């Protein structure tokens, strides 16, 4: 049984601030199908979010099976299902893969055979068994709503919240979805709350709850709805609501509700008349036999799903290949013949003029070679930074709503961030190793190639990690991409590789510029060569040691992953 006791939600702390929900008192028995009606902005979706815990009420209680959820423990992820207005499945997965992933992320404790049987049974019950191999992007609106219900039913919730799941459907599809929700409400002592604007199926609901400006205007039998509001047809309900103030409707319902609740024989939904002490038989029957999988199990599912999505997104796959193969080619066109050999100046045979000419030629050669070497290294670093931005900028923000829904169903943020880090780590290593090896084959940088590979990999990983953090805190993928591009754009001018920064500004910005540490560390691998001396002639920026550069870049990576974890853990559910 679900009971709301004086439930309120206020925006702001001042007494005159807006009340989104005001002192709702209502109770729903088991095996109950409820329509939540009301004009746009009256608080219907907000009510579901408050019940689900997505938004926290400012007053009152939500009681479930006799316990106060705020004081005695929230819903277990298996007790509640929530079908939001937005899509909760990846377009590139099939129906079967979507339900299978949901099962593997949410349900543990069943053997393989029982799991397969449950998935097939749910697909059959919601009517999508025959399209199990079809991709989500090819489904009709009604089929997507059926899939959304299947994803929630996979964990057998006792309370199912449906937010406008029939919105935008044609009449036939709407009829089928409402019939399906009615059937679902009859299973497993379940309560189904459905927010809807449609008044076409009132006879299928056990009760109808009407809100206006966050206040309860009616909660009773569908048969009495027209009588209570003094209208002859359901379509007249909303115009009728507009004729009176919300407070008047609320006061009217408080006055007459007892008489209308008499129609509910056996289990009156009146919170003033009913006792919400849990039924021992119901509690035992509803005790969960399954539990949420651990971090490692969820990580494996998420990691496998991410690679499946990667290889099915042909556009993204081709872009990654183009960047990985094309960017090194952009570097080597500046040194197709390798790095020029620096010739030691001759003594000119004692001729002072020849000595001066030789020294000038040597200095010119040093400056040219130093600029070339510094530029080639920084070009690699900046291009890998750009790859890092492309890798991660949209990674979380682009699927934020699905993430929020999966967190609601029991997904652990640590498993999610770890799966992203592992997936992106493989891309980073492939991109960086190829860049270092291919460029070195043509340019023939002296020094330790393994150390150079490590430094380039860490630069890529640092920008990937930071952009992943940006992706986790931005509201949209577009915002995350824009901020990440700006971040890469500032890498070159703030690195000091081209123009030396003022000393004060240099100390402030340098610790945060991954490109500086990659460039400086890479140059240190050339320290015992004339190339290092040549670079020092063309830059006034102090160079850091390779070990220090490695530690700083590792710090960038860890900081980015920590921020990403914090961002994922925080709610971004609109």
295-299-301-306 Cα dihedral, nearest 10 degrees? 150
**pLDDT at residue 268 tops 60:** no
**Chain segment 521-548, per-residue pLDDT in tens:** 999 999 988 888 888 888 878 888 999 9
Tokens representing 540? Answer: 């006034």
User: What local confidence, expressed as pLDDT, does residue 337 receive?
Assistant: 79
Kind and range of the H or E element at 211?
strand 207-212
What pLDDT, on a 0 to 100 scale, did the predictor assign at position 345?
63
Residues with Cβ < 8 Å from 508, sequence gap 6 or more? none
Enclosing H/E stretch for 192: strand 191-195
User: For residues 201 and 178, what is the distance between their CA atoms, to the nearest angstrom?
Assistant: 7
Residues above pLDDT 90, as percent of the chain: 54
- Phi first, then psi: give them for residue 10, nearest 5 degrees: -115, 140
Q: What is the pLDDT of residues 387-439, one digit of tens each?
A: 999 999 999 999 999 999 999 999 999 999 999 999 999 999 999 999 999 99
- H helices present in 393-509, as ranges: 400-408, 413-443, 449-473, 477-495, 503-509
Query: 């030629």: which residue's tokens?
Result: 361
What pTM was computed for the model? 0.89
Per-residue pLDDT tens over the stretch 153-167: 998 999 999 998 888
Sheet with 191-195: list strands edge to edge: 80-83, 159-163, 191-195, 32-37, 207-212, 215-220
Structure tokens at 312: 């099915």
Could you tell me if 159 and 190 are in contact, meaning their C-beta atoms sit under 8 angstroms apart? yes
Give CA torsion, residues 330, 331, 337, 340, to 10 deg: 150
Please count the residues of the chain. 574
Kindly report the backbone phi and psi dihedral angles of residue 158, in degrees, each rounded to the nearest multiple of 5, phi listed first.
-90, -20
Query: Which alpha helices (H) appear in 127-236, and where do they start and end?
Result: 141-153, 171-185, 222-229
If we measure between CA atoms, which residue out of 302, 373, 346 comes closest to residue 93? Answer: 302
Q: With a cut of 60, say whether residue 564 has pLDDT above it.
A: yes
Output phi, psi for 9, to 5 deg: -140, 120
Q: Does 47 have pLDDT greater than 90?
A: yes
| pLDDT of amino acid 344 | 65
Mean pLDDT for the stretch of residues 137-152: 92
Taking residues 265-293, what's their average pLDDT? Answer: 55
Q: What are the chain's domains? A: 2-79+157-285 (3.40.50.300), 295-569 (no CATH)
pLDDT tens, residue by residue, 310-342: 999 999 999 999 999 999 999 998 888 778 776
- Taking alpha carbons only, the member of 148, 83, 150, 149 closest to residue 120 is 150
Cβ–Cβ < 8 Å for 389, 463 = yes
Please determine, for residue 289, whether its predicted confidence score (pLDDT) is greater than 80.
no
Average pLDDT over residues 245-259: 88
Q: Confidence class of residue 361 from pLDDT cuts 50, 70 and 90?
A: low
Token representation of residue 556:
């960038």
């Amino acid at each position: 049984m679900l009971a709301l006791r004086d439930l309120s939600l206020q925006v702001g702390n001042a007494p005159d601030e807006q009340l989104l929900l005001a002192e709702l008192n209502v109770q729903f028995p088991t095996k109950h199908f409820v329509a939540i009606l009301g004009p746009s902005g009256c608080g219907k979706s907000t009510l579901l979010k408050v019940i689900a815990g997505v938004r926290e009420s400012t007053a009152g209680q939500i009681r479930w099976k006799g316990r106060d959820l705020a004081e005695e423990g929230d819903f277990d992820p298996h007790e509640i299902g929530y079908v939001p207005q937005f899509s909760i499945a990846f377009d590139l997965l099939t129906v079967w893969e979507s339900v299978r992933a949901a099962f593997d992320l949410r349900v543990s404790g069943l053997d393989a055979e029982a799991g397969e049987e449950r998935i097939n049974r749910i697909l059959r019950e919601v009517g999508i068994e025959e399209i199990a191999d079809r991709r989500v992007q090819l489904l009709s609106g009604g089929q997507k709503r059926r899939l959304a219900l299947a994803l929630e039913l996979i964990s057998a919730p006792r309370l199912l919240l449906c937010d406008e799941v029939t919105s935008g459907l044609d009449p036939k599809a709407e009829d089928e979805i409402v019939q399906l929700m009615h059937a679902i409400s009859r299973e497993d002592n379940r309560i189904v709350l459905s927010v809807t604007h449609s008044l076409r199926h009132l006879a299928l609901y056990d009760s109808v709850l009407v809100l206006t400006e966050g206040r309860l205007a009616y909660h009773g039998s569908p048969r009495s709805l027209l009588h209570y509001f003094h209208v002859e047809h359901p379509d007249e309900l909303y115009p009728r609501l507009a004729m009176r103030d919300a407070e008047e409707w609320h006061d009217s319902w408080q006055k007459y509700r007892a008489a209308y609740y008499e129609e509910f024989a056996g289990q009156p939904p009146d919170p003033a008349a009913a006792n919400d002490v849990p039924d021992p038989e119901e509690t035992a029957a509803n005790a969960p036999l399954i539990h949420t999988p651990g971090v490692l199990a969820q990580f494996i599912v998420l990691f496998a799903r991410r690679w499946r999505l990667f290889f099915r997104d042909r556009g993204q796959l081709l872009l990654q290949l183009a960047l990985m193969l094309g960017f090194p080619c952009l570097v080597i066109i500046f040194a197709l013949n390798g790095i020029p050999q620096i010739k030691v100046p001759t003594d000119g045979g004692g001729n002072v003029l020849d000595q001066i000419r030789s020294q000038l030629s040597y200095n010119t050669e040093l400056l040219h070679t130093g600029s070339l070497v510094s530029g080639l290294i920084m070009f690699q670093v900046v291009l890998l930074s750009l790859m890092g931005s492309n890798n991660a900028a949209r990674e979380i923000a682009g699927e934020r709503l699905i993430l929020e829904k999966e967190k609601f169903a029991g997904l652990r943020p640590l498993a999610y961030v770890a799966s992203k880090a592992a997936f992106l780590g493989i891309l980073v290593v492939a991109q960086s190793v190829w860049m270092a090896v291919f460029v070195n084959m043509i340019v023939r940088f002296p020094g330790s190639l393994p150390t150079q590979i490590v430094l380039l990999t860490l630069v890529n990983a640092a920008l990937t990690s930071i952009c992943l953090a940006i992706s986790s805190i931005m509201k949209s993928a577009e915002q995350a991409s824009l901020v990440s591009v700006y971040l890469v754009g500032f890498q070159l001018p703030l690195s000091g590789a081209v123009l030396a920064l003022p000393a004060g500004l240099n100390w402030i910005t340098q610790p945060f510029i991954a490109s500086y540490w990659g460039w400086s560390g890479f140059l240190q691998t050339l320290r015992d060569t004339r190339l290092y001396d040549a670079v020092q002639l063309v830059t006034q920026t102090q160079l850091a040691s390779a070990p220090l550069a490695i530690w700083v870049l590792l710090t960038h990576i860890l900081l980015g992953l920590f921020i990403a974890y914090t961002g994922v853990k925080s709610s971004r559910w609109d």
